[in-house]
Amino acid sequence: RTDADWWRDAVFYQVYIRSFADGSGDGVGDLAGIRARLPHLVDLGVDALWITPFYPSPMADHGYDVADPRDVEPVFGDLAEFDALLAEAHAAGIRVTVDLVPNHTSDRHAWFAEALASPPGSAARARYLFRDGRGPDGSQAPNNWPSVFGGPAWSRVPDGQWYLHLFAPEQPDLDFTDPEVLADLETTMRFWLDRGVDGFRIDVAHGMAKPEGLPDMQPMEDTGLLDDHGPGDLRFDQPGVHDVHRRVRAVLDAHPGTMAVGEVWVSDDDRLADYLRPDELQLAFNFKLLTADWTVDGLRDAVVHSLATVAGVPAPACWVLSNHDRPRHVTRYGGGELGTRRARAAALLQLALPGAAYVYNGDELGMPDVDLPDEVLQDPIWERSGHTERGRDACRVPVPWSGTEPSYGFSSQRDTWLPMPGGWGPLTARAQAADPSSMLSLYRAALALRASSPAFSGESLEWLPAPEGCLAFRRPGGLVCLLNPSPEAVPLPEGRVLLASDDVAGGTLPADAAVWLQA
């Protein structure tokens, strides 16, 4: 690859800004916190950051409700702080990508205020999806679509019209057939590109087009989190979305070396490939690995399907184990020591696969989900699902850095925006840095090898015969990865051991472990 294609095999680190590091001492993570923790990211060895939204926001969805996409939320800092972070990250050899949230704005965005103050049929309303209701008095929503967060996807305004929101009512959907909407997205992209960012993560990248006439869809059972995105889900993955991606790509192409990764939830792989055509997204998360269970079939299918998805397009695969929307993989794999052992093995799987990889902040420490009491839950899903879904707070608890509770060096103050549990001393970055057998040491060693060893060269993968219950593959450069998700130890294959998630001194690979060999 060339320098302009740096993202093809990059390791990205997702900074969920509220939870990464608090520089200002208010219990909420911020840009100054990221700046202060750059040495951790350099020692870890990541190539690039994805920073989740830090734009002015009333925080109905923790920043994914953007009131002004071209400024900084005071809780997180200001533009000067962002510029300083960008310069320092670049000086340290780390690229910076930021979130774009094109599908919707906050209900406090100036456009939405203008829409509310303007009559039905006005140009201000045309930027959003305002419609008259059904029934004699228009008191029924314009269609039957559910919101992803629970309840109907429509809310009514005082003059009787309804507006569409696929997520919370505080996140009205924009209408991308309005030329001003698309032009504004381009302006936002140029604003950050001109400041020097290296790319974007595009939120709900499958959502920006809605079907003509907004027809009813097959009813989905109203059980809280309605993000099925299967065939027949008319809210997402409509053909017009690709026109938006072509416009986005044109802006990126005018800034060589920049990229976009899409958050694209679709029902099958062929549909994901459409987003990765040469004039659309450079990368799209392969969520198969994020949702796979700890079974040999589940993991193999995730890899096979993800590679098949990108077989006919210029994009490499893009692997994710955890993010801020889903249970952390330590917990998904069973939690406790077992979950941690499996997470160590999963890290070696993820980082051995060809393509790009995203590490979610805290993955490198083996953070689990946290069982939070009802009264501290903040995710809108909790309220909107009528308390049937606990939402995503469990995977968003602040990162423990050093020392002891209550806030383990995350903040100078005791009270963090979500409480941190007791007993996390051994989980802190400082404790793990001093322990060669820690998760952090494993990640550092893995990333160092990945960056320096020719064994990782080549974007393809050859499946090798493997012991019962195991997966094995070889990269063109000679890296062999053997993953053993089975309950039995298996013999090690030929080759020089580069790194192992567990003790392989006896010539066997234990259960729930993985090894890298040079063969």
Window of 123-131, 318-326, 359-367, 471-479 that interacts with ligand TEU by CB under 6 A: 318-326
Site string for ligand TEU, 72-101 (x = CB under 6 A): -----------------------------x
Instruction: Determine how many CB atoms are found less than 10 A away from the CB of residue 437.
Output: 10
Does 203 contact ligand TEU by CB under 6 A? yes
Pick out residues in 332-361 that bind ligand TEU (CB under 6 A).
none
User: Closer to ligand TEU at the Cβ: 6 or 236?
Assistant: 236
Q: Known catalytic residue: 180?
A: no
CA distances from 413 to 34, 361, 408 (A): 17, 21, 10
| Backbone torsion region of residue 451, taken as left when φ is above 0, otherwise alpha when ψ lies between -120 and 50, otherwise beta | alpha
Name the nearest CA neighbour of 172 among 67, 325, 261, 69.
Answer: 67
- DSSP assigned state of 64: S
Instruction: Determine how many CB atoms are found less than 10 A away from the CB of residue 260.
Output: 23
CB of residue 167 vs ligand TEU: minimum separation in angstroms? 4
Pick out residues in 256-295 that bind ligand TEU (CB under 6 A).
263, 265
Pick out residues in 370-409 that bind ligand TEU (CB under 6 A).
none
Name the nearest CA neighbour of 259 among 110, 496, 443, 100.
Answer: 100
CA distances from 171 to 105, 156, 165, 391 (A): 5, 13, 6, 17
Q: 201 - beta bridge partners?
A: 99, 261
User: Closer to ligand TEU at the Cβ: 225 or 367?
Assistant: 225
Pick out residues in 443-472 that bind ligand TEU (CB under 6 A).
none
Identified catalytic residue from 170, 263, 389, 512 = 263
Pick out residues in 210-239 that bind ligand TEU (CB under 6 A).
225, 227
Q: Which residue has the tokens 């990541």?
A: 46
User: Closer to ligand TEU at the Cβ: 148 or 472?
Assistant: 148
Using CA atoms, how far apart are residues 73 and 56, in angstroms rounded to an integer? 4
CB of residue 200 vs ligand TEU: minimum separation in angstroms? 13
Pick one of 7, 154, 167, 358: the residue that binds ligand TEU (CB under 6 A).
167
Pick out residues in 147-166 that bind ligand TEU (CB under 6 A).
148
First to last CA, the chain: 23
User: Closer to ligand TEU at the Cβ: 18 or 450?
Assistant: 18
Window of 124-132, 250-258, 324-332, 448-456 that interacts with ligand TEU by CB under 6 A: 324-332
CB of residue 485 vs ligand TEU: minimum separation in angstroms? 24
User: Closer to ligand TEU at the Cβ: 218 or 452?
Assistant: 218
Angle at 216 between CA 212 and CA 218, to 5 degrees: 125
Does 204 contact ligand TEU by CB under 6 A? yes
Using CA atoms, how far apart are residues 374 and 385, in angstroms rounded to an integer? 13
User: Closer to ligand TEU at the Cβ: 283 or 517?
Assistant: 283
Q: Known catalytic residue: 73?
A: no
Identified catalytic residue from 170, 184, 203, 325 = 203
CA distances from 489 to 167, 463, 482, 503, 513 (A): 46, 20, 12, 11, 9
Catalytic residues: 203, 263
Contact set with ligand TEU (CB under 6 A): 61, 64, 101, 148, 167, 203-204, 225, 227, 263, 265, 324-326
